């Protein structure tokens, strides 16, 4: 009786593993990981801004605004994934907007390094870095989703 249960469980597990042999499974898992890391970076940026008492200057506001816009475009792409052209358009927009956030980062880092208050500059720089990494994560996610889209027949 126990042997039959074990055999049934083994067969069930084998069938489940066979279902996971989707050639794009690793891409989907990577995409999930990129998005989770992006969300973590934004969360950490908010926590560090609060802990370090970093004011929402024009760079933080600009980067956060661009990240929000890029994420909205990315969400639109996911919603129309079955429609190649529309999805590709939203992915391109998400990537472009995330690159704009990166532009804010470069200006923000320059400003932080020129700050006469070194500690303030370091604190701000850490928040900027987190937001920049979130923008990079969105770009990677957009690139990978585009690859998945192209690979679909």
Q: Is the pLDDT of residue 66 over 80?
A: yes
Q: What is the mean pLDDT of residues 5-13?
A: 68
Q: Is the pLDDT of residue 73 over 80?
A: yes
Report the predicted TM-score, pTM, of the whole model to 2 decimal places.
0.77
Q: List, for residues 24-65, the tens digit of each pLDDT value.
A: 777 888 888 889 899 999 999 999 999 999 888 999 999 999
Residue 15 pLDDT: 63
Residue 19 pLDDT: 57
Q: List, for residues 91-137, the tens digit of each pLDDT value.
A: 999 999 999 999 999 998 888 888 788 788 888 888 999 999 999 99
Q: Is the pLDDT of residue 11 over 80?
A: no
Kindly tell me the burial class for residue 11, based on how many C-beta atoms sit within 10 Å of its own C-beta (0-12, 13-18, 19 or more): exposed
């Amino acid at each position: 009786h126990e042997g039959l249960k074990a055999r049934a469980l083994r067969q069930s597990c084998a069938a489940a593993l066979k279902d996971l042999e989707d050639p794009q499974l690793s891409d989907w898992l990577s995409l999930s990981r990129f998005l989770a890391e992006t969300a973590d970076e934004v969360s950490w940026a908010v926590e560090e801004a609060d802990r370090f008492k970093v004011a929402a200057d024009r760079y933080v506001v600009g980067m956060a605004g661009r990240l929000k816009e890029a994420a909205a475009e990315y969400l639109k792409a996911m919603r129309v994934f079955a429609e190649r052209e529309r999805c590709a358009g939203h992915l391109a927009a998400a990537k472009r907007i995330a690159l704009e956030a990166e532009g804010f980062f470069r200006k923000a880092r320059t400003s932080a390094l020129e700050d006469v208050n070194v500690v303030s500059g370091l604190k701000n720089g850490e928040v900027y870095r987190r937001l920049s990494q979130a923008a990079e994560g969105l770009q990677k996610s957009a690139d990978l989703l585009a690859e998945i889209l192209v690979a679909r027949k």
